[in-house]
Amino acid sequence: MKTQVSEEIKQRCEELKISDDAMVELMDLFLRELNKGLSKKDNPTADVKCFITYIKDLPNGEERGKFLALDLGGTNFRVLIVHLKGDKDFEMESKIYAVPQDLMVGGAEQLFDHIADCLANFMKDQNVYDERLSLGFTFSFPLQQLGLTKGLLVKWTKGFNVAGVTGEDVVKLLKDAIKRRGDIQIDICAILNDTTGTLMSCAWKNHNCRIGLIVGTGSNACYVEKIENIEMYEGLETNQMIINTEWGALGDNGSLEFIRTSYDRAIDEQSINRGKQIYEKMISGMYMGELVRLILLRFTKDGLLFNGMDSELLRKSQEFQTNYVSQIESDEIGNYKNCMEVIHKLGLSANFKDCANVRYICECVSTRSAHLVSAGIACLINKMNEQSVTIGVDGSVYRYHPKYHDLMVKRIRQFVRPEISFDLMLSEDGSGRGAALVAAVACREEGRISG
């Protein structure tokens, strides 16, 4: 038997729902900001910066050679070696390394020396220590690129605040660290972010892929734009270019107040980048669990949950993990096994009515996230106006949430022009293989093979 959700909780969760009218308003806002970001005159004041990636060619499936990839974007980073054999055949090995907490808020030299140490360690493990290899560097933080191998960090996000990196060329910082070691030979041939890596990785298998999307710790999207629409570009002649939107900053100018809640404002207040990445804070995995915790805490204090009895853990910031949302929503209707486990972990006691209410709150938060992402993707699809588009997607929220994909497909379909077809493709190998492919395409253009 399905336990009913409390009417008062339903009513109080209404503010988390993105209505059809709000979707249209959000899409219009995003398109305006996107066009500002592409404009030479308006870019300085745009929230959505539309950074040029300098990647104009997508993979054709025939790339060959051995390539390294480095994928830095959170508390862990991945080093990969990808052996491309042509005709979409490849071998790949990878290893995950941790970024210790003190390095996330330390100095530039310490962070990049650590990364170089791990690169050398990986090359030894893979028996390529004496080889000269090309590397693609995925750097999943807001980056202003000045070329394929030059990118300045705009600002740290996702809990990082390393001194001496903002405004600096991160490729040079990594090259300097490799040089300080003096024992490995690596040519860094491209820097990109995880959305671009995801797009490249999916485009290698599906030539229809034109959008890369991340919904994980953070959220961002990139897409293929016609060169005549990119006023900021002043390089060699080309037809198209991948644009890294950096859409997480949408709303930094106050434009999202029409859908923000008091919980969103509380999340922002306690963040280390207050007033920044407003859209991302309403969507991504770094904040989703905390949003649910704040709602649960308020409703408990108001006597709507757990007989008004909270717990020390429920009062503690970050204790409600985002993966709890996926676990709770994975329970079959009427079965609250996972939900009960999570509630007990938090030191709370609950009945089935509480479980039904907690599940409903999780659904409201995750559905809002999926709808916010869908507004941005529908806007990009309509802007590109191609007959058929594949969106390459990666990130833990999209990958592990039981309903996120279906929520997105339904909402995008509702707001994309009816004559346009689209599909969402999960990136199997993450943005790491994409970084190797960017390096491979760069080498292909130069007529050389790495390794």
- Give the residue numbers annotated as catalytic, written as ranges: 158, 194
Distance CA 284, CA 71 (A): 19
Encode 133-167: b = buried (16+ Cβ within 10 Å), e = exposed: bbbbbbbbbbbbbeebbebbbbbbbbbbebeebee
Residue 280: burial class (beta carbons within 10 Å; 0-12, 13-18, 19+): buried
Distance CA 288, CA 345 (A): 18
**Secondary element (H or E) of residue 302:** none
296 Cβ contact list (under 8 Å, min separation 6): 305, 314, 320, 358, 361
Backbone angles phi, psi at 54, to 5 degrees: 65, 15
CB 129 within 8 A of CB 433: no
Distance CA 442, CA 55 (A): 9
CB 448 within 8 A of CB 134: no
Distance CA 290, CA 351 (A): 22
Distance CA 10, CA 169 (A): 49
CB 70 within 8 A of CB 137: yes
165 Cβ contact list (under 8 Å, min separation 6): 108, 111, 153, 156, 173
Distance CA 327, CA 136 (A): 35
Please give the radius of gyration of the chain, using alpha carbons only, rounded to the nearest integer. 22
* Neighbour tally for 268: CB within 10 Å: 18
Q: Which stretches of 158-284 are DSSP H helices?
A: 170-181, 194-205, 262-269, 278-281
Distance CA 122, CA 57 (A): 29
The strand pairing partners of 209, in sequence order, are: 390
Residue 392: burial class (beta carbons within 10 Å; 0-12, 13-18, 19+): buried
